Amino acid sequence: MPTITTKDGTQIYYKDWGTGQPIVFSHGWPLSADDWDIQMLYFLQKGYRVIAHDRRGHGRSTQTWTGNDMDTYADDLAALTEALDLKNAIHIGHSTGGGEVARYIGRHGTKRVAKAVLISAVPPIMVKTAANPGGLPIEVFDGIRAGVAANRSQFYMDLTIPFYGYNRPNAKVSEAIRTEWWRQGMAGGVKAHYDCIKVFSETDFTEDLKKIDVPTLVMHGDDDQIVPYQDAAVLSAKLVKGATLKIYPGYPHGMFKTHADVINADLLSFIKG
């Protein structure tokens, strides 16, 4: 399997297909690069080079018990882009991966970046604080921690329901999508996944977002039951200078899977624009 080795010895697995302008995908918690299969095939067929990695502790990368923090995630991404010598790249991040993209740019700049896309992403910050009164209470994330610690297999399977909006009236449930989500989650390490809950919920990306100086598209469904859009996309778009905000009525957190035709077309339009 293709991997790079980071300065602390962690092996980061990645996929790298095609030629042309590179598109780099950063996945959500607790998934892997496989979550981007639909998009990678779509853009590969459009003539782009597509790259996706498994975050440390996730998928086929090393099941780390240390270094599970957003700064290290961003540095791992930087190490990958440098190892592959990616230039003029479009960085697309979903959920926690959107935070990874923001922190990567915040720490490493945009010398290798052409555009950025945040899909259903966690920035600016998820948890409720005095500075973020619209956030989710810490008890929500304590509940996620408890679920992962007690029986993450069952917790992950249950989480697929709100993740894809399968609890909504007339929702067309795909058991295959649910099983694939569970498979990706269970491939990763429980310690890294447990640590990442604090990372995606409590990391403040405000200053990172302010540093983004390339064209940026912020996409979010208004029926996202995992990352409520009003405290995420709406605020992020205000912090990124010149960002384009696109809200999708009725779309869930995993909208790039449930509504791939719409999301892929909008991504292509933004990338070409």
CA dihedral angle for residue 152, residue 231, residue 92, residue 239, rounded to 10 degrees: -150
Q: How many helices (H) and strands (E) does the chain have?
A: 10, 8
Active site residue 253: yes
The helix (H) or strand (E) run that includes residue 13 is strand 11-17
Q: Which of 34, 224, 231, 236 is catalytic?
A: 224
| Length of the chain measured in residues | 273
What is residue 159's three-state secondary structure?
helix
**Residue 76 near residue 56, CB atoms below 8 Å:** yes
153 counts as catalytic = no
Question: Residue for token digits 């292509």?
Answer: 268
Q: How far apart are CA 74 and CA 173, in angstroms?
A: 34
Q: Token digits for 117?
A: 């896309």
For residue 99, the 8-state DSSP code is: H
Give yes or no: 236 in active site: no
SS3 223: coil
For residue 229, give the nearest of 242, 219, 239, 238 by alpha carbon.
219
Please identify which of the residues 61, 95, 120, 236 carries the catalytic annotation. Answer: 95
Catalytic residue positions? 95, 224, 253
